[in-house]
Chain A
Amino acid sequence: MLDTSKSSRIEDAERARRRLFSEVLGFCVELRFLRFRYLYRMYSPDQPRVPAGNPDGGQWTDGDPTGEDTVIDEPLDDDFAEALIDLIGGPNRRQTPTVRVGGREVEVTPGQAVRLEVATAQARAAEAAVREFDPTWRPRASLTETVEGEIAAAEARRSEAEARLMELGGGYRAPLDTARCLAPGGLRLGWREPGAGRGIETVDRVSFDRILSELLVGAREVQSPANYNGRSFLRSDGARFGVRWSNSNGPTIDFADDWFFPSWRINKVHLK
């Protein structure tokens, strides 16, 4: 028998470990950034330069009146950038997408991972709409062995739920405003990772699924920007968002516009 309290404690401990790791990571990044500012000084157009004709002409100096000007450095410091990238494991930290199919983890392409996220969220939203009228309804179970089978099964669940909804006379469920999808009842669902930029909200799997399912209700898929590594959608309230597999953060929702709340804003949601 599954010991749920033990399992829950393990999950709590894992979450605490991840949170602590993130805080240390964020602290390290901030330290490195402070060092960067100290060493190179934030670029200022008023900062003195070594005069033209000097071998270091044009470079930034500390403006030493003794004439012993010290060249601070070129503004671009490859060593610093590389050290920072190593430190936070940014673009080099590849997350190969994996999904669970038939009880085992399977590697998939980023495109497949996004299609599965979207298909599953759409199925979940349709099933939830049916259960508002028929709380005991369940879609037919299916067994799949491939990710494409898993995507097809999610799409079938969605179709089945939509058909059932028509039978029940439910038909159409009004989408929530985007702000309510992101912060139901004004409650913040996630957090900002230490060191992360403003607007980047990190949430757990339950909240990610909830947000994506709500966003997709009534949303229409639209053409994506040529460079965007995901799929784009337009909501009935005009909100534009995209779903992609981020190289270092996994499933991610991007918003074309900022969403402001009392003490935070959101333009991107990462899954932790």
Chain B
Amino acid sequence: MKSEPRSRLDGGTIDDYVAGYVHEAIDDEIGVSLASIVSDGRRSFGLEGDDLVAYVRRGVAALAAIGARPEHWEMYSRPGHLDGPVHFGADTPEEIVEGVLAEWIAEGMPDLGWGDYRFITAEGRAYLDEVVESKRREAAASDDHG
């Protein structure tokens, strides 16, 4: 019987790690990047090929299932990943999972940047919009006084 993989780093199971992504996406407005999922699969569990794809699929499926949606943050992402949400069809969780996986595999399953496919919940996005708007207003006020 094949035993369940354990993290080389801390002995955690894949379920532990996936639960951590869900927790982080809900707990923090900037969400979780696909870069972390790929890095964990590759470095913590030593996965490659189909095993790595299966691991990434589980992570992305869990995030899509709680309503987190992917977006690129261009400054810390791969070339061509422009700022903004990444849409796949009608953006059902299933389409998101398949779409993200297909794009990542087509790119050669690279390690990713912090800004690549950040999974952000609707609540997180609403908060970020507020803060970004507040930053814009503060900058405008500062320009007016300067």
- Residues in chain A within 8 A of chain B (CB atoms): 26, 29-30, 33-34, 36-37, 40, 42-43, 45, 75-78, 80-81, 84-85, 88, 90-92, 109-111, 195-200, 223-229, 240, 244, 246-249, 252, 254-258, 260, 263-265, 267-268
Q: Is the CB of B27 within 8 A of A249?
A: yes
Q: Is the CB of A33 within 8 A of B19?
A: yes
B residues less than 8 Å from A85 (CB atoms): 26, 121, 123
Q: How far is the CB of B132 from chain A (nearest CB, A)?
A: 6
Q: Is the CB of A76 within 8 A of B61?
A: no
Q: Is the CB of A196 within 8 A of B27?
A: yes
B105 within 8 A of A: no
Which of B7, B9, B40, B113 has a CB less than 8 Å from the CB of A256? B113
A residues less than 8 Å from B93 (CB atoms): 43, 75-76
Closest to A78 in B: B67
Q: How far is the CB of A149 from chain B (nearest CB, A)?
A: 16
Which of A80, A247, A248, A267 has a CB less than 8 Å from the CB of B36? A267
Which of A37, A45, A225, A264 has a CB less than 8 Å from the CB of B74? A225
How many of chain B's residues have a CB under 8 angstroms from any CB in A?
58
13 A-B pairs with CB atoms under 8 Å apart are A36-B65, A76-B93, A91-B124, A109-B134, A111-B134, A198-B44, A226-B132, A240-B76, A247-B28, A247-B29, A248-B28, A249-B27, A256-B113
B115 within 8 A of A: yes
Also in contact, A246 and B29, with CB within 8 A (given A84-B66, A197-B24, A264-B9) = yes
| Chain B contact residues: helix, strand, loop or mixed | helix
Q: How far is the CB of B52 from chain A (nearest CB, A)?
A: 15
Closest to A115 in B: B138
Q: How far is the CB of A80 from chain B (nearest CB, A)?
A: 7
Q: Is the CB of B30 within 8 A of A254?
A: yes
Q: How far is the CA of A264 from the CA of B62 in the complex (A)?
A: 23
Q: Mark B33-73, 1 if CB is under 8 A from A, else 0.
A: 00010011001100000000000011001101111000101
Which of B21, B92, B115, B138 has a CB less than 8 Å from the CB of A109? B138
B residues less than 8 Å from A249 (CB atoms): 27-28
Q: How far is the CA of A219 from the CA of B132 in the complex (A)?
A: 23
Q: How far is the CB of B39 from chain A (nearest CB, A)?
A: 6
Also in contact, A43 and B20, with CB within 8 A (given A111-B135, A227-B83, A229-B29) = no
B104 within 8 A of A: no
Q: How far is the CB of B14 from chain A (nearest CB, A)?
A: 10
B100 within 8 A of A: no
B88 within 8 A of A: no
Q: How far is the CB of A161 from chain B (nearest CB, A)?
A: 25
Closest to B62 in A: A42
B140 within 8 A of A: no
